[in-house]
């Protein structure tokens, strides 16, 4: 089943998507990761997107939608996870027409529900590998050797610019205003599924697996 994985910043979308890729062979489409890759490579898209990411605001729909359209068009039959897209009602509606155009279907819109307090701790403590994208947490899942990625062995662990407290506040506000209304939107479409994201990573994964199998 193709799925949309959505929820607040730090809910664990990227962490769960990585497990779905590793264990179930799904294809991960993360708009946030695509933007960060472009920022790293200083492409025109990255230069434009950086202004928005640094402020915790959404990148304009015109840019984001065509990026997702292109990615979905290139999929070769693999089951996919949309992580971080759609992120507002307009994106959700346009996604429906893209899927129709490409004869694709999403069977579940899974909402990872986590209250704000744990999110702040998760985001301020998150560390990411610049080289391979592996995600760590200084307290909950630290790398074995400080600063060194367990997955690729490179000394490339860093803190995302938007994981500083001032930006986190803005991201949470953007989430409440733009993304939270997707809960009602997907409830009405009949594909809405909700999971508590406060349990440990393996339990959350098992629940997602049950929902999609």
Could you tell me what percentage of the chain is helix, strand and coil, using 3-state DSSP and rounding each to the nearest 5? 50, 15, 35
Out of 71, 124, 131, 201, the residue judged to bind ligand AP5 by CB under 6 A: 201
Choice among 50, 79, 154, 160 that is catalytic: 160
When asked if residue 164 is in the footprint of ligand AP5 (CB under 6 A), the reply is no
Q: Which of 20, 14, 61 is nearest to 36 (CA)?
A: 14
When asked if residue 141 is in the footprint of ligand AP5 (CB under 6 A), the reply is yes
Q: Which stretch binds ligand AP5 (CB under 6 A): 52-60, 73-81, 103-111, 180-188?
A: 52-60
When asked if residue 158 is in the footprint of ligand AP5 (CB under 6 A), the reply is no
H helices present in 56-200, as ranges = 61-73, 89-101, 116-125, 165-174, 182-189
126 is catalytic: yes
**Least distance CB 44 / ligand AP5 (angstroms):** 16
- Alpha-carbon distance of 137 to 199, in angstroms, equals 15
Choice among 36, 122, 127, 171 that is catalytic: 171
* Per-residue binder mask for ligand AP5 (CB under 6 A), 59-98, x = binder: x----x-------------------xx-x---x-------
160 is catalytic: yes
Tell me the CA distances in angstroms from 175 to 7, 38, 130, 159, 179, one per residue in order.
8, 23, 25, 21, 5
Q: Which stretch binds ligand AP5 (CB under 6 A): 21-29, 49-57, 151-159, 188-196?
A: 49-57
36 is catalytic: no
**Least distance CB 158 / ligand AP5 (angstroms):** 13
- Alpha-carbon distance of 72 to 61, in angstroms, equals 16
Q: Containing H/E element for 36?
A: helix 31-40
When asked if residue 106 is in the footprint of ligand AP5 (CB under 6 A), the reply is no
CB 127 within 8 A of CB 159: yes
Q: How many CA within 13 A on the CB side of residue 5?
A: 35
Choice among 13, 122, 127, 207 that is catalytic: 13
Choice among 122, 126, 127, 207 that is catalytic: 126
H helices present in 102-160, as ranges = 116-125
- Which positions touch ligand AP5 (CB under 6 A)? 9-15, 31-32, 35, 52-53, 56-59, 64, 84-85, 87, 91, 122, 126, 135, 137, 140-141, 162, 171, 197, 200-201, 204
């Amino acid at each position: 089943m193709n799925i949309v994985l959505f929820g607040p910043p730090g809910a664990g979308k990227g962490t769960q998507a990585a497990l779905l890729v590793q264990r179930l062979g799904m294809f991960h489409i993360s708009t946030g990761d695509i933007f960060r890759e472009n920022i790293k490579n200083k492409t025109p898209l990255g230069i434009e997107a950086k202004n928005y990411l640094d402020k915790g605001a959404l990148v304009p729909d015109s840019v984001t939608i065509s990026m997702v359209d292109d990615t979905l068009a290139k999929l070769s039959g693999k089951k996919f996870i949309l992580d971080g897209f759609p992120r507002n009602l307009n994106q959700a509606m346009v996604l429906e027409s893209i899927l129709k155009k490409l004869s694709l279907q999403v069977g579940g819109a899974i909402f990872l529900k986590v209250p704000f307090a744990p999110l702040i701790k998760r985001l301020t403590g998150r560390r990411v590998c610049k080289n391979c994208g592996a995600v760590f947490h200084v307290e909950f899942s630290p790398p074995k050797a400080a600063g060194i990625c367990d997955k690729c062995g490179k000394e490339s662990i860093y803190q995302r610019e938007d994981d500083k407290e001032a930006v986190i506040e803005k991201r949470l506000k953007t989430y409440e205003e733009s993304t939270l209304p997707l809960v009602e939107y997907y409830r009405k479409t009949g594909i809405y599924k909700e999971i508590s994201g406060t349990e440990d990573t393996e339990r959350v994964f098992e629940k997602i697996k049950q929902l999609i199998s």
